[in-house]
Amino acid sequence: MKVDCRSKRPLPIDEKEIHFIYTRAPGPGGQHVNKVATAVQLRFDINNSRSISEVVRDRLIRTAGNRITIKGILIINASRFRSQDLNRRDALNRLADLFDKAASPQKNRHKTKPTNASRKKRIEGKKRRSKVKHSRRSVIRFDD
């Protein structure tokens, strides 16, 4: 079962695994912000999810970083908009972005060596800088 919730794309997880908590949004806004719970906190238990594979789970934990608690719950806070529905969509889209990053494997880095020309250029720059610094030294004279 895929989650849609009017977001821009479906997610590969069961909608029962996602929990929303609605709170009052921080920041300015006057009376509206003090009365209405427009901020959305999306919670997704990565460790106990049956919808994702082990490989995607491991990559998701690495890419999410500080957004995951010690118990393995991914938390996404959305309070960018003044509407609860827009914040909910924003949280789902951010979750979908995380899934996209986790689903695509990272490319391996190929080691490269600096070219001979770039090495020579680097050494020449160092020599030039050394001469400038050497010319700034005070001159010590030995008069006999």
Residue 119 lies in a domain: no
Residue-level length of the chain: 144
Report the number of distinct structural domains present in the chain: 1
Distance of CA 95 to the CA centre of its chain: 12
Query: Of 38, 49, 61, 54, whose CA–CA distance to 16 is shortest?
Result: 49
Decide if 41 contacts 23 (C-beta within 8 A): yes
Residue pair 49/57 in contact (Cβ under 8 Å)? The answer is yes
Greater confidence (12 vs 112) lies with: 112
Q: Is the pTM of this model over 0.85?
A: no
Q: What domain range includes position 60?
A: 15-103
Q: Are 103 and 57 in contact (CB under 8 A)?
A: no
Residue 25 near residue 38, CB atoms below 8 Å: yes
Domain of 45: which CATH number? 3.30.160.20
What is the tens place of the pLDDT at every residue in 28-87? 777 777 788 889 999 999 888 888 888 888 888 888 889 999 998 999 999 998 889 999
CA 93 to chain centre: 14
